Amino acid sequence: MPHPQMFADDDPALARVRALALALPGAQEKVSHGRPAFFTTKVFAYYGGSHKVDGDWHEHPQCLMVLLDEDERTALLEEDRSFVPAYLGPSGWLGVDLPAPDERGWDEVAELLDASFRLTAPVRLVRELDG
């Protein structure tokens, strides 16, 4: 049974994430488990996520889930806008709530996408990004 779609196609925050993610070399988008996923050979970001607190699910429909190095992940986890996502968290993924589409903070979103891309993309695509 397929997962239901868990996002709105006309979501302005998704449009901003999509533009940033798909600007990376070789990046593509697919729907995985009902959420937009951005990938090359491996997924480097998901839009939207959830986590459990005291047995209750907490949805974060406008967040970015990324894979980060341990130091960056640890630093971001100290902020209220960050969380360890269900299922992917034990593998090092982190969820970060996004700013509103018209607010400041999107430069950091681009940096998070870049960092996750560098950890998951093939070497040739990272070289293309640096080129």
**CATH code for position 110:** 3.90.1150.30
Helix (H) / strand (E) element for 45: namely: strand 43-53
- At residue 57, the pLDDT reads 86
Is 89 within a domain?
A: yes
Is 67 within a domain?
A: yes
More confident position, 69 or 1: 69
Q: Is the pLDDT of residue 1 over 80?
A: no
Burial class (CB in 10 A: 0-12, 13-18, 19+), 54: exposed
Domain that holds residue 16: 12-126
How many domains, in total, are found in the chain? 1
Instruction: Please state, in angstroms and rounded to a whole number, the distance separating the CA atoms of residues 111 and 103.
Output: 16
pLDDT band, very low/low/confident/very high, at 55 (cuts 50, 70, 90): confident
Instruction: Please state, in angstroms and rounded to a whole number, the distance separating the CA atoms of residues 130 and 105.
Output: 23
Is 5 within a domain?
A: no
Q: Is 54 left (phi over 0), alpha (psi -120 to 50) or beta?
A: left
**pTM of the prediction?**
0.95
Q: Is the pLDDT of residue 50 over 80?
A: yes
- Give residue-wise pLDDT tens across range 62-120: 999 999 999 999 999 999 999 999 889 989 999 999 999 899 999 999 999 999 999 99
Please compute the mean of the pLDDT values over residues 39-59 and round it to a whole number: 91
- At residue 17, the pLDDT reads 98
pLDDT band, very low/low/confident/very high, at 51 (cuts 50, 70, 90): confident
Is 7 within a domain?
A: no
Pairing of strands 35-39, 82-83: unpaired
